Amino acid sequence: MTAIYKRILEKKIESGKDWDLIAAEARIKVASWMTGIPTMTPSDKDLRKLAPVLNTTYQYLKYGRE
């Protein structure tokens, strides 16, 4: 599990939303990285779309800092 995935998962749990809803609100496709596969990571474009849906910033999701 990558650090980026761990941060996304943390924010997902806080939000109480499932992957389908998060993907729909972020207007991205449900992707294999959402299963935690360590070799798969979301693109920067997807991270930028996910951040507001998860009530956080791109910098937090990508680097672990606000």
Looking up tokens 């959402």 gives 34
pTM: 0.89
3-state secondary structure the chain: CCHHHHHHHHHHHHHCCCHHHHHHHHCCCCCHHHHCCCCCCCCHHHHHHHHHHCCCCHHHHHHCCC
Angle at 7 between CA 37 and CA 5, to 5 degrees: 10
- Specify whether the CB–CB gap between 16 and 54 falls below 8 A: no
| pLDDT tens series, the chain, 66 aa | 789 999 999 999 999 999 999 999 999 998 888 888 888 889 999 999 999 999 999 999 999 987
Residue type, 15: S
- So what's the pLDDT on residue 11? 97
